[in-house]
Amino acid sequence: MTADARQRVALVTGAAAGIGRSITERLVADGMLVIAGDIDETGLAALRAHGGGQVITQRCDVTDEASVAALADLAADHGGLDAAVANAGKGAYGLIVEHPLETWQEIIDLCLTGVFLTVKHAGRVMNDGGSIVNIASLNAIQPSAGMAAYCTAKAGVAMLTKVAAMELGDRAIRVNTVAPGLVETAATSGFFMVPGVVEEFVENTTVGRFAQPDDIADMVSFLVGPGSTFVSAGFFSVDGGASTKRYPDLPSAFARLVGPTPS
């Protein structure tokens, strides 16, 4: 088989649900074989069942270096890696003065160190000319009270992307950041339960809606595809224009939910 005829291989972390699942399905539709990692083995089995033989799953905890290395090595066994999407991540709410160190560390480990490990091991096995996409957040550039660890980790992802683009450029590997605004997934179900929060998110966009996971997958598909070979070290907001305005006032929204503190 010539190099051109070889099926392209992608790796996606946090692939079992939400944005990661949508990205996985989009890359399969684009003709790629996807090596999908997640800690949710039930979700991975469901993803595999719908993958038409084009999704290979393996349990992968992105905070565990050996686990990430094994996922990358699995991709290498299939002819090397052409694309990697460092997607696994989650937020945690808490004001800094009350924030337990363990929670801060957990979010930094998952959202920042997990991306570092994914870039490290994907970059190690990636074919020349490959593409890495790191999923950050609107919070990489727009602060939110109550989200210090998440905002800090996501801002770190944006800078990590630029450094990785410099270091991997001599192999024509491109590295870019995608920064979603509010996307309807299990991770954001809490926002949908607090009166006013989603309305504020939507009001702060310029397009008047929140996103679905496919909105993010569209951008990732472009960044790993043939139409973006001159695009590297970029930061791509997929937030409906929300970066032009301000983040919802989460402390006030949560205070309204809990009600007045008894005096």
Ligand X SMILES: NC(=O)c1ccc[n+]([C@@H]2O[C@H](COP(=O)([O-])OP(=O)(O)OC[C@H]3O[C@@H](n4cnc5c(N)ncnc54)[C@H](O)[C@@H]3O)[C@@H](O)[C@H]2O)c1
Q: Is residue 137 at the binding interface for ligand X, with CB under 6 A as the rule?
A: yes
Task: Select from 1-9, 28-36, 58-66, 158-166 the region that touches ligand X (CB under 6 A).
Answer: 58-66
CA 250, 254, 256, 261 dihedral sign is negative
Q: How far is the CB of 60 from ligand X (least distance, A)?
A: 6
Quick note: the x/- pattern for ligand X over 189-228, rule CB under 6 A, is ----------------------------------------
247 is catalytic: no
Q: What is the Cα–Cα distance from 132 to 121, expressed in whole angstroms?
A: 11
Nearer to ligand X, 131 or 188 (CB): 188
Q: Which residues contact 140 (CB under 8 A, 6 or more apart)?
A: 151, 154, 155, 157, 158, 177, 179, 235
Kindly state whether residue 107 participates in binding ligand X, applying the rule CB under 6 A.
no
The DSSP secondary structure of 145-174, one letter per residue, reads: TTBHHHHHHHHHHHHHHHHHHHHHGGGT-E
CA dihedral 123, 124, 125, 128 (to 10 degrees): 60
The binding track of 68-97 with respect to ligand X, each residue x by CB under 6 A or -, is -------------------xxxx-------
Nearer to ligand X, 87 or 127 (CB): 87
Query: How far is Cα 72 from Cα 67, in angstroms, rounded to an integer?
Result: 9
Position 36 contacts ligand X (CB under 6 A): no
User: Of 104, 116, 150, 235, which is the active-site residue?
Assistant: 150
Rounded distance, CA 63 to CA 60, Å? 9
What is the contact surface with ligand X in residues (CB under 6 A)?
Answer: 13-14, 16-20, 38-40, 43, 60-63, 87-90, 110, 135, 137, 180, 182-183, 185-188
